[in-house]
Amino acid sequence: MPTDNIAISIVVPAFNELATIQTLISKVQDAVRAFDFEIIIVDDGSTDGTVETIRQFGDERVRLLHHTSNQGKGAALRTAFRHATGQIVVIQDADLEYDPRDIPNLVQPILDGHADVVFGSRFRGAARVHLYWHRVANSWLTWFSNLLNNLDLSDMETGYKAFRKSVLDQICIRENRFGVEPELTAKAAKLKCRIYEVPIAYHGRDYAQGKKIGFLDAVRAAWCIIRYRIAD
């Protein structure tokens, strides 16, 4: 399907990502040149110069939204989704753990008319091999989510997801932090969306490099899997 008349919104939650944000924006621009695109960056209360760096870009398709205090990834996505104008919305983390060159493959099942939601699986593509217990926790949470939502995903917790905008218009995000991943999964399953997975590259950071997800986030994710399966 031709892509020049398909509008795509790439939404980027960002909190103190000065080290990567400039490179990230350039890589996204290169990856989606075939599309009519916008990049919506929600700065979530950064204090390290992230905002000033974003403002240096002269591309009007790079849109900056700003939270005056840090509220979390879910809150940033809630703001971004509200302002997105594209027919397809892609979630792109700012830290370069996910490679923007995967965006065309991520949205292709939607372009082909096969999918409403696409998950990028870190466990079906090339990925940095490390953090064993992080992988164990992820696998358990994915299994638990699959069990309750009757899905067969390999990577529910992936930060790389693409949605038809019409799907997101039916979802009200309630989680402010990383519980947004199981929340989006459960709500897409409840809507009977056609959910696909595609392999993606993954260049994971460790905690010394600034990885932000910890044990309490995993506990919260388990609770969210239950909560959003039985209630909104």
Bridge partners for 7 per DSSP? 36
**Which of 169, 159, 163 minimizes the C-alpha distance to 193?**
163
CATH number of this structure's domain 7-230: 3.90.550.10
Report pTM. 0.92
| 70 contact partners, CB below 8 Å, separation of at least 6 | 15, 44, 45
* Domain residue limits, the chain: 7-230
3-state DSSP assignment of residue 68? coil
Q: Who wins on pLDDT, 202 or 58? A: 202
Task: Convert the pLDDT of each residue in 87-122 to its tens digit.
Answer: 999 999 999 999 999 999 999 999 999 999 999 999
Contact (Cβ atoms closer than 8 angstroms) between residue 174 and residue 183: yes
pLDDT score for 74: 97
